[in-house]
Chain A
Amino acid sequence: MKLRLDKKDFKNFLQNLIDEYDLYAPVQLTEGVSVFKKIDQPGEVNLTQLHTQKPAKDVFFPQSEVMFRYEKVGKQNQMISMEEGKRERILFGARPCDIEAISIIEKVFVGEEYTDVYFLEKRKKTTIIGLGCNHPLSTCFCSSAGGDPFLRAGSDLFFIDLGEAYFVELLTEKGMAFHKNKFFKEADPKDLTFVKELEEKAFEKVGFSIPVDGIEKRLDLMGESSFWDRVHEKCIGCRICTYLCPTCHCFDMVDEGEHQRGQRVRHWDSCLSPLYSLETSGHNPRPTCRERTRQRLMHKFNYFPKNFNQVACVGCGRCILYCPVHFDIRKAIIWTSPKRPKRYERGMI
């Protein structure tokens, strides 16, 4: 169903959502830094940045989440489970890459063998309103990674910014529930033409130049390649690329508190940290940055596709934009392919 929402009604539309749902949307923390947060006032929503720093995974798989609390009452140990909020939730303003990434994480958290109730509860309760990317950045390579700047998959409703209005598509049953929303109007035939123009322009900009296709097979042959001796050199082992990655989903569980009372919490973890693979004996199977960088790339482009038929990278470009030493994952992908320029042999990566 194709509709439109005039920008003059946008704040009221958001207020309407806040009244009925827990609304999560991009919020600016300081100039140039935004994250997805629960919204109290429509004015908090800020869509100026194409990508928030922390991706939308934070809404389903928070960076830090209490799993349960425990308390000793007399001689009894009591476990107190954490109640999920009762209200239905809306995720607004997530980009197609972030939404695609949620379905990637879902493959792990909602599998045949294991179900992560914390993730699943949030996922079930959430209606996703995606937002198309009229102006992808030069670091975006979603098309090469199987997505596109206007990919609807995963969204229940999809918004496209037309300037004075949003073009709105209702895509799923959850989305169709909005067909009577008082702020939506019938879309103009002109809107459709404009949308097509915007899409073509964005597609052209993103292109298909990064050889992600077939990378799994190429990496099969590269387990002990000299590539790994070079690729890690500039990496300093911080966690930016993994924490800001919309598909990275490793976590650590810790108990906070003491024997009387406390809580079990899970936090995002990162394979780039030496602590991640450190065993109790003191042995670390990934002792240096070389093994850790290999793990990061292998997990995304070899192990994950082997398990789930899809690379664990959506081409959002955050790891390129925010890396303090300017590691570019696109170049690492190119390095594995026959497209590799000769000068890379010298160690450029």
Chain B
Amino acid sequence: MEERSKAIQDRIREKAKELLSKKEVDLVIGFGEWTLPLRTTPIFIRTPEGAEDLIWNSFCENNLAIYLHKFSQFKVGIVVKGCDARSIIALSLEKRFKPDQLFLIGVPCQRMVDRRRVKKAVKGEILRAHEQGDQIIVEGEDFNTTLRRDDFLYPSCQVCTHRTPMGTNVLIGDPVKESPLIETHPEIKEFEKKSPEERWRFFEKESSRCIRCYACREVCPMCYCAECFVDSSNPKWIEKGFSTSDLEFYHIVRAYHQTGRCSGCGACERACPMEIRLTYLTQKLNLDVRELFDFETGIKADTLPPLSTFEIDDRQEFIK
């Protein structure tokens, strides 16, 4: 196992054990090992002994902040990366937590590995995978391939500039240098070059694969409406079928509802079983919000997102 991860893992376990022994929290949410290679799973630890199940590696891809809605009645210790913490700050601004309800165990993130890219890089099923330094070694029945970790990261992780979580109660490991691996999200670059017609065609092609499982909505910490607009029957905003316009409507509204609230974690895209590109939309909105309002989601615990505020001297250049 990669040494840095091992050291972090030990300290996460130690902290979780301490919190649970002293009964400072009811449970600790973190990552555990499970059955598939290149993956981890969210786990919920309630006993000090259970802390031994917590792990840390480059496959901790889930944004655990989603579970805070489910465990809103408890005092929760939670392992957070930069993006998870940003979602939590954004949720705090929306008054989702009581003060001192959360204990954030922050881990500066090494950027997470895109399991699909890895799978597509080899022929045959990957049965085992592990990290060694900056490499990932994947093994199957008749292959053993070494890959450079940095070539197989999630796009949202490649562009991330907030890997060290903010607002944490404890930080495990040293803060990392905050520079993106690549400057712009590769798909946004491509998207911006396109004509409006081409953009629409790209968007249309992507959303046409949607099966309306709403996994993109459910994995998003910011999607917590008691009733989502797609589920409302009175008024009925949208049909439940697969007409192009309904699929597009869902995807546009889902993205727009994230304006100034999206931490750019990329969980939506990872969850999609149909591999629909989603982050080019939300990340583009994030860039727009940064450019127009000088605002980034989940960075400051006291600044409301621009679309949640109104000031008399607001820039209103869109009114022409």
Binding site for B on A (CB under 8 A): 29-33, 53-54, 63-64, 135, 137-139, 230, 233-234, 236-240, 243-244, 252, 254, 256, 265, 267, 270, 273, 275, 289, 320-322, 324-328, 330-331, 343, 346-348
A99 to B13, CA, bound (A): 46
Specify which chain B residues have a CB less than 8 angstroms from the CB of A322 in the assembled complex.
273
**Cα of A109 to Cα of B29 in the assembled complex, Å:** 42
Ranked 10 nearest A-B pairs via Cβ: A324-B271, A238-B215, A326-B41, A239-B213, A238-B218, A322-B273, A236-B218, A346-B50, A234-B42, A64-B241
Q: Which of B70, B125, B218 contacts A138 (CB 8 A)?
A: B125
Residue of B32, B36, B124, B211 with most partner-chain A CB within 10 A: B211
The reply to whether the CB of B127 lies closer than 8 angstroms to some CB of chain A is yes
A29, B209: Cβ atoms under 8 Å?
yes
In the assembled complex, the Cα of A289 lies from the Cα of B218 at a distance in Å of: 12
Contact with A along B7-50 (1 / 0, CB 8 A): 00000000000000000000000001011100111111111011
Interfacial chain A residues near B35, Cβ < 8 Å: 139, 320, 326, 328, 330-331
Cβ contacts under 8 Å, A348 to chain B: 32, 43, 53
Whole-angstrom CA separation of A138 from B274 in the bound complex: 21
Inside 8 A of B44's CB, which chain A residues have their CB? Answer: 230, 233-234, 347
Chain B residues, Cβ within 8 Å of A243 = 211, 213
Chain A residues within 8 Å of B47, by CB: 346
Q: Number of B residues contacting the other chain (C-beta, 8 Å)?
A: 46
Q: Give the residue among A54, A135, A256, A331 with the most B Cβ atoms within 10 A.
A: A256
Type the 1/0 row for B233-248, where 1 means its CB is closer than 8 Å to any CB of A.
0000001111000000
With A30-B209, A64-B242, A273-B231 already in contact, 4 other A-B pairs whose C-beta atoms are closer than 8 Å: A135-B124, A137-B125, A233-B42, A348-B53
Contact A343 B53, CB 8 Å, known A33-B275, A326-B41: yes
Supply 9 A–B pairs (Cβ within 8 Å), ascending by A: A29-B274, A243-B211, A265-B240, A270-B213, A324-B215, A324-B270, A326-B34, A347-B44, A348-B43
Residue from B32, B215, B239 whose CB has the most chain A CB atoms within 10 Å: B215
Contact residues of A: prevailing secondary structure? loop
Quick one: which of B32, B215, B274 contacts A53, CB cutoff 8 A? B274
Query: B218 contacts which of A29, A33, A237, A256 (Cβ < 8 Å)?
Result: A237
Return the CB mask of B259-284 against A: 1 if under 8 Å, else 0: 00000000100110111000000000
Residue of B nearest to A267 (CB): B240
> Is the beta-carbon distance between A63 and B242 smaller than 8 angstroms?
yes
Kindly report which residue of chain B lies nearest to residue A325, judged by CB atoms. Answer: B42
Q: Are B215 and A240 in contact (CB under 8 A)?
A: yes
- Confirm or deny: B96 has a beta carbon within 8 angstroms of a beta carbon on chain A: no
Contact with A along B190-218 (1 / 0, CB 8 A): 00000000000000000001011111011
Closest Cβ of chain B to A91, distance in Å, is: 19
A331: chain B residues within 8 A (beta carbon): 34-35
C-alpha spacing A113/B214, complex, angstroms: 34
State the CA gap A135–B123 with chains docked (Å): 12
Query: Which residues from chain B contact A239 at a C-beta distance below 8 Å?
Result: 212-215
- List B residues 283-302 near A (Cβ within 8 Å): none
Which residue of A is nearest B46, CB measured? Answer: A347
* A-chain residues with CB within 8 Å of residue B257 when the two chains form the complex: none
* Nearest CB of chain A from residue B261's CB, rounded to whole Å: 18
Distance, CA A328 to CA B34, complexed state (A) = 8
Contact A31 B242 (CB under 8 A): no
B4 at the interface (CB under 8 A from A): no
**C-alpha gap A30/B35 in the complex (Å):** 26
CB contacts (< 8 Å) of A31 on chain B: these are 120, 275
